[in-house]
Structure 1
Amino acid sequence: MTGTIDARLAELGITLPEAPMPAANYVPFVQTGNLVFISGQVANGPGGLMVGKLGAGYGIEDGQAAARACGLNLIAQLKAACGGDLDRVTRVVKLNGFVNCTQEFADHPKIVNGASDLMVEVFGDKGRHARAAVGSSSLPFGVAVEVEGVFEIA
């Protein structure tokens, strides 16, 4: 039987990617009690890594798309953490977004909205969360965005 969140993903036309494997010596998520901490997910879309630097030729819409791709990877990891049942998610608690950008770039919140908006689209009011949006001089593999998250599950 398809769950409510799976039905919502289908309604939105979203197919989750496979949960990405770690790129170094860490685990993709850790559950402690009813909280799931998901390691930073880089901007990896259908065409591969979304590489670029905001403020140096990589536009706001590109950055938002990259953040959304990070969000999709977060949800894929969350689904794995929930044993495949996203209906166990009771709250998106917090997202931390990192934006690969020039020193002058100041629209970090607009970029990370790509992931934040996705959480609300998919989880509704349970998707509203606390957040940080931080600029960085570089990110792994030169990706434009990386996002990590904390989720509450039943």
Structure 2
Amino acid sequence: MSVENRLEELGITLPEAAAPVASYMPVVVEGGFAYVSGQLPFIDGKLVTGRCGDDVDIDGGMEAARACGLMILAQLKAAGVLEKVTRVVKLGAFVNSTGDFTDQPKVANGASDLMQDVFGEKGRHSRAAVGVPALPLGAAVEVDAVIAVSD
């Protein structure tokens, strides 16, 4: 089954791939891997901002991380490699959070669960989930990815 068919089966419509907000490329494909720059969470075209442990709860953080995951898929599609994914290798989740918030792994599950839903076993990956005091544009979460792709 194609990735596009799987997305349709799951009722998922990918957002438009976001343009870079600075001097970088959204995706670099090299040596059998697609390196996806950190993606911010957009829901209904609006950036999800805030801080976990303050004005964003765990469920809101997970939803933001899932939105980052959707943007990763959108970037892979824009780069022409979505259907060439052979494995999600690693996700890096950066969670805008207060100093006493320790549920970054739960928040990151929003993106991780999406990858497993879309790609099945090849969507299982290694991961880092890190709390940070601030993210670009005040985003609640940012997620980057390393994806293995076929030629």
TM-score by length of 2: 0.96
Query: Map of 1:20-39 to 2, 5 A cutoff?
Result: 20-39=18-37
Task: Report how many residues are paired.
Answer: 150
2-structure distance, mates of 1:59, 1:96: 20
Other-structure match for 2:119: 123
Query: Map of 1:33-48 to 2, 5 A cutoff?
Result: 33-48=31-46
Tell me, which stretches of 5 or more residues in structure 2 are unaligned?
Answer: none
Structure 1 runs, 4 residues or longer, greater than 2 Å off: none
1-structure distance, mates of 2:83, 2:77: 9
1-structure distance, mates of 2:43, 2:147: 22
Query: Map of 1:97-136 to 2, 5 A cutoff?
Result: 97-136=93-132
Structure 1 counterpart SS, 2:29: strand
1:44-75 per-residue CA deviation (whole Å, 9 max, x = no partner) reads: 11140001100012111000000000000000
Pairing partner for 2:91 from 95, 107, 127: 95
Other-structure match for 1:50: 48
Look up the equivalent residue of 2:38 and give its one-letter code: G
TM-score by length of 1: 0.94
Structure 2 counterpart SS, 1:133: strand
Structure 1 counterpart SS, 2:143: strand
Look up the equivalent residue of 1:35 and give its one-letter code: F
Structure 2 counterpart SS, 1:62: helix
Structure 1 counterpart SS, 2:137: helix
1-structure distance, mates of 2:90, 2:59: 23
CA RMSD of aligned residues (A): 1.0
